[in-house]
């Protein structure tokens, strides 16, 4: 079945540091890929998405590129802020068959001033 693997955390950075959170996937068919963010005490919310190979999703300074050849969708941000502290989930979803979007286990990001 489909699966998503993302780097374990927590990832601890100082403010203005560069962020990378790795995500790789396996899927049958052609999935859409997503990054969701969960702030403390809240539900998940969409951060960015990409629907086909070589697409780049971006939002709030975060970026991720859909790499079909390496089955990856790594999340990056050039300069993190304390307010970026949250848990980040990589996920995929496909349009055929059953409706079971697949999530990674989440990566906690802690940004210190």
Partner 1 sequence: EAQVTQNPRYLITVTGKKLTVTCSQNMNHEYMSWYRQDPGLGLRQIYYSMNVEVTDKGDVPEGYKVSRKEKRNFPLILESPSPNQTSLYFCASSFMADSPLHFGNGTRLTVT
With CB under 8 A as the contact rule, which of the stretches 15-23, 59-67, 71-79, 88-96 interacts with partner 1? 88-96
- Contact present, 38 and 89 (Cβ < 8 Å): yes
75 lines the binding site for partner 1 (CB under 8 A): no
Taking CA 11 as the corner, what is the angle to CA 6 and CA 13, rounded to the nearest 5 degrees? 140
Quote the Cα angle for 99-46-2, to 5°.
35
Instruction: Give the contact letters, 14-33, x = binds to partner 1 (CB under 8 A), - = no.
Output: -----------------xx-
3-state percent helix, strand, coil for the chain, nearest multiple of 5: 5, 50, 45
100 sits near partner 1 (criterion: CB under 8 A): yes
88 lines the binding site for partner 1 (CB under 8 A): no
- Distance, CA of 51 to CA of 66 (rounded, Å): 8
In the complex with partner 1, the residue whose CB is nearer, 17 or 55, is 55
Give the residues lining the site for partner 1 (CB under 8 A): 31-32, 34, 36, 41-46, 49, 51, 89, 91, 93-96, 98-101, 103-106
């Amino acid at each position: 079945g489909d699966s998503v693997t993302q780097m374990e955390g927590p990832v601890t950075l100082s403010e203005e540091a560069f962020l990378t959170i790795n995500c790789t996937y396996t899927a049958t068919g052609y999935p859409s890929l997503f990054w969701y963010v969960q702030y403390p005490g809240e539900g998940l919310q969409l951060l960015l998405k990409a629907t086909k190979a070589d697409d780049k999703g971006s939002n709030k300074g975060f970026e991720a590129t859909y790499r079909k050849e390496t089955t990856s969708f790594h999340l990056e941000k050039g300069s993190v802020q304390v307010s970026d502290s949250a848990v980040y989930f990589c996920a995929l979803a496909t349009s055929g068959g059953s409706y079971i979007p697949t999530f990674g286990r989440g990566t906690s990001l802690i940004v210190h001033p």
